[in-house]
Amino acid sequence: MSTFESSRDFKLTVLGRTLEHLGTQMYKRRDVAIAELVANCWDAGATRVDITIPLPNEYAPELSEVLIQDDGIGMSDDEVEENYLVIGRNRRTEGQNAAKGRRIMGRKGVGKLAGFGFARKMQVLTWRNEQSCLFELSAKSLKAAPNKTREVTIPGQIGPKPSFAATQSGTRITMSNLKHKTPVDADSLTQAIGRRFSRTVLGEMEIYVNGVLVEEPDVEFESRYPEVDFIEEQLGDEHTIKWWAGFSAKVLPKELQGFTIQVNGKTAQAPPYFFDVEGTASGQHGTKYLTGVIEADYLDEESDDESDRVSTDRQEIDWDDSGSEALKRWGDETTRRLLRERVDARGAQIEHYVESQPEFSARISRLDQQSASRVRQFLNLLGRSGTDNDRVDPLAETIIRAFEYRQFHDFITELDAAAASADPDEFALVVTHMKDWRLLESRAVLEIIKGRLDIIDKFYDFIVNDTPETAKQKGRENLHDLIADYPWLINPEWQVLSEEKRITTQLREWGAADISDPEYAGRYDFIALAGDGELVVIEIKRSGHVVTTRDLFNLEEYATRLGRAQTVGYRAFISGDSYDIDESQRRMWESQPDRGLLTWREIHERIRSHYEHYRSVLEGSTEDSHFTRKTTEVARTKEVLQSGAYRGVDRRASGLGPQDLPYPDASQ
């Protein structure tokens, strides 16, 4: 900073709290206020503007500062007094142009107060021709009693050009004692500034936010009109505008949605703006993807105050003014047309997109021709709805699956009814509900079956990994507890009644304590009830256990003792396939109809076969033979329930209906 050599008192006349309100009330948004100060840099002929805002982790309202510095023509101390501190001065009526021949953006002479929208103090340092001038404006001092005027003295200092200044002239404005509790987001500010100034302005005056160059927002377009540059449009016989519009591939941030209308290089109608058609236009959901710029310089061609059609904060055009009526009509028609065209194009686009995905394409190709055609119709309708791109895949999946599962539930009738409403959004809502609800009752049953398939897979892992029979520590895997939780694993036709109980305790519970031996410590693993009502005593060992004669003797003794009170119809010993038993003794055991040496692999294969045929339906494996059999079964079931069980000659000739377990053909 330079050392100031002299001082000068500047004079400013204030009325009540007018000056404070001009800044505070009209520039409440920080991006709007900063953009207004940047516009002053343009009028000063700047080619570079640097905006410095606090970093989020360093922000403190009482201590932080916001700086805006330009390399414009600066001001002498006389110009500060005669021009800058004159509030409401219209330079255009004086016939002035901005520096470097630019057309003046400012008009009302109050934009310099925009800093008071977010700060209580503004320090202005300006320099030119090796001389600088420094003064400070305080919101507190720019007040007078209500309806009273008073002259405010603003102390200033005059000195050499500041040592940090790399240009011959320029201005730095420092806002302090900030009003907001939260910091400005640098990315959002950069994006907002990029939309508030025209391509011409950004080309002639570089703007930086914390060292990052402000550019036109980078949007990934699905479509843009025209593909590059602007379209020039004639409004009636007098006025010409330039414009472009485009639809993005993704939902746009709020600050990028809609049109921004620029007048003389700066926003006059802030986005998002859709000419008030967003509530009534066909395809209104497309507004989330629509962005564009309209340059309508004719709205600000005159210099007199009466022809001013733009609000002071450059947020809104006076649409009731006769001079803006033609633009309003054109904007209404154009916005509606763009939204309609997007709806039409998007239907075909989504249909093509889905069919270009190999998985979807393969599944559609497996449908009959009529079903495939209807799928395409529904996909087109889905595209015409307001469905966001990231939801297209799951909803397309739902539509295709509806046809794959048409024999299991009449989804197609629901889709047809929704499509008949002629409202793409209503159709998309029905598809969404089908996806989310998945028919709750059916889902509950299918989830149970899916859970059983998962448990069967876990059961298989236990067998392969020789998981211990029991465990004494929580969290340790063990075979006994898995069987106890899911006893159907042993045999889905058995009802397991009890687990791991001393023989004497069981006899006592059966009311046969008098025939029990209180000293006997034998304990069975499980007792089950077979389909014929007979008891089954079950002994299990881990898959790696080597079966001995003693193991079989223990099971036989359990059955004998229990048989004194109840009839035991079957003894099942389940283990791996390793035996330390005399071969003849093993054959004798296995030859008995009331005994079984079963292996875990046999048990697993039986229970797997019992449920495996459901897996293809759960996983949507439409090419699986199990899926085909289930489809045929459901179709025939509907026919039997509606028309009766009579098969007729052709159906009898086709043989037996589908069965859960696909046994080999015995005739082969």
Give per-residue pLDDT as tens, 254-277. 888 999 999 888 888 878 889 988
254: left (phi over 0), alpha (psi -120 to 50) or beta: alpha
299: nearest Cα among 332, 264, 331 = 264
User: Could you tell me how far CA 245 lies from the centroid of its own chain?
Assistant: 25
Q: Return d(Cα 219, Cα 247) in angstroms, integer.
A: 9
% of the chain beyond a pLDDT of 70: 84
Name which of 18-27, 344-353, 645-654 the model is least confident about. 18-27
pTM listed for this prediction: 0.59
The C-alpha torsion from 338 through 339 and 343 to 349, rounded to 10°, is: 50
Q: Return d(Cα 364, Cα 57) in angstroms, integer.
A: 54
Find the mean pLDDT for residues 624-632: 74
With beta carbons less than 8 A apart as the criterion, state whether 161 and 131 touch.
Answer: yes
Share the mean pLDDT of the chain.
83
Sign of CA dihedral 250, 255, 260, 262: negative
The C-alpha torsion from 278 through 284 and 286 to 287, rounded to 10°, is: 10
DSSP 195-215: HHB-HHHHHHSEEEETTEEP-
Rg (CA), the chain: 42
Per-residue pLDDT at 26: 66
With beta carbons less than 8 A apart as the criterion, state whether 100 and 200 touch.
Answer: no
Find the mean pLDDT for residues 402-407: 72
Name which of 42-51, 122-131, 658-667 the model is least confident about. 658-667
DSSP 605-654: HHHHHHHHTTHHHHHT-TTSHHHHHHHHHHHHHHHHHHH-S--HHHHHHT
Give the SS3 label for residue 546.
strand
500 pLDDT higher than 70: yes
Find the mean pLDDT for residues 5-21: 68
Give per-residue pLDDT as tens, 46-94. 999 999 999 999 999 999 999 999 999 999 999 998 888 877 665 555 5
Distances (CA, A) of 571 to 66, 503, 510, 603: 87, 15, 19, 15
Per-residue pLDDT at 633: 74
Per-residue pLDDT at 332: 93
Sign of CA dihedral 396, 400, 402, 408: negative
Q: Return d(Cα 51, Cα 211) in angstroms, integer.
A: 8
452: nearest Cα among 481, 495, 492, 496 = 492
Q: State the Cα angle at 128 between 123 and 130, rounded to 5°.
A: 105
Q: Return d(Cα 44, Cα 171) in angstroms, integer.
A: 9
| Residue 231 binned pLDDT confidence (cut-offs 50, 70, 90) | very high
% of the chain beyond a pLDDT of 90: 34
Q: Return d(Cα 82, Cα 89) in angstroms, integer.
A: 10
Name which of 121-130, 139-148, 493-502 the model is least confident about. 139-148
User: Could you tell me how far CA 615 lies from the centroid of its own chain?
Assistant: 31
386 pLDDT higher than 90: no
| Residue 422 binned pLDDT confidence (cut-offs 50, 70, 90) | low
